[in-house]
């Protein structure tokens, strides 16, 4: 993870400012979300969410969105469309979990399943 101050992903509209990134692996910048709802737009933050993918591309990174909850929303649709527009990727729900497990390898995939996915699923119920 990178905070805005030390992030290699810079803002296009102000290259002096960095962007918080949840995880960077090689030249891939990951944005993790539990879910994407309409509430983000009500807080005036959705434009920031949309800018993430373009800022990553501009900084030489491939943006990847991982949304763990598959609940559809118009904001989720807009966000995935923006990632696709800049040749990024978006994984939602089971696809996101599968992607994480594939990237993690066998041992860490068991950890993700037992200590992350199952507890989150229990909280949802």
Closest CA to 52 of 37, 38, 69, 33: 33
**pTM value?**
0.88
Helix axis angle for 46-58 and 74-85, nearest 10°, is 10
pLDDT bracket for residue 48 (50, 70, 90):
confident
- What is the arithmetic mean of pLDDT over 69-89? 95
């Amino acid at each position: 993870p990178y905070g805005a101050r030390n992030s290699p992903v810079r803002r296009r509209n102000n290259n002096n400012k960095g962007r918080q990134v949840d995880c960077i692996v090689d030249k891939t910048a990951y944005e993790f979300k539990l879910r994407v709802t309409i509430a983000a737009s009500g807080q005036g933050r959705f434009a920031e969410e949309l800018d993430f993918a373009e800022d990553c591309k501009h900084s030489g990174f491939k943006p990847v969105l991982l949304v763990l909850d598959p609940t559809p929303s118009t904001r989720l649709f807009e966000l995935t469309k923006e990632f696709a527009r800049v040749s990024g990727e978006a994984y939602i729900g089971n696809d996101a979990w599968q992607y994480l497990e594939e990237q993690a390898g066998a041992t860490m995939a068991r950890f993700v399943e037992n200590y992350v996915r199952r507890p989150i699923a229990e909280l949802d119920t």
